[in-house]
Amino acid sequence: MFIYKLKKILLNDKRFLKDKKLKIFGNRLYDPCIWYFNKYTISRAVSVGLFFAWMPVPLQMFLAAGFAILFKANFPISVALVWLTNPITMPIFFLFAYKVGMVFFSISVPNHLDFELSFAWLFNKMCDIWQPFILGCIICAIVSSVLGNILVRLLWRFLVIKSWYMRKKAKK
């Protein structure tokens, strides 16, 4: 299975621990709890990673790494899930978050937006849209992290039951 292959690769190859950027976490990176692959560490990692994927802040990966260590979540999965919002998908995610925020502020969605690729336009528009945008990001972060945690636990349970059934069937 995919998890076993990933586990074998990550546990045997920890060259990235020597990266200078990760020195800020100190010896906490060597805590075995953040490298385990079990239902609890993976579900926490999904929650942390999805939460910080929605946050429009710089250094999302370092925040996810810090909270993965704090909550004893699986470190690599927490950091990897932040990349759901990459430069290609970020506009889609953040437009969705903005629209969610607009619903909670009861603001009507404009039919068109006069877009201009400049910092002046971005700064001027951000002054107008920051409240629904931030609220939408927070709502999407909380909802996706809770749903992600629940889905991982349900999927894990399903896979365990399926493996029990397959083992029982193989004995007969």
Provide the residue-wise pLDDT of the chain in tens; the chain has 172 residues: 555 555 555 555 455 555 666 666 666 677 778 888 899 999 999 999 999 999 998 889 989 999 999 999 998 899 999 999 988 998 899 889 988 998 888 776 665 566 666 667 767 777 778 888 899 999 999 999 999 999 999 999 999 999 999 988 888 7
Taking the domains of the chain in order of start, what are their residue ranges? 2-171
DSSP 26: G
Residue in this structure with the two tokens 């909802």, named with its chain if needed: 143
CA nearest neighbour of 105 among 141, 138, 56, 147: 138
Nearest to 73 by CA among 41, 96, 51: 41
Question: Rounded to a whole number, what is the distance in angstroms from the first to the last CA of the chain?
Answer: 24
> Which pLDDT score is estimated for 137?
95
CA–CA dist 41, 46 (Å, integer): 9
Q: Please report how many Cα atoms fall inside a 13 Å half-sphere around the Cα of residue 103, on the Cβ side.
A: 9
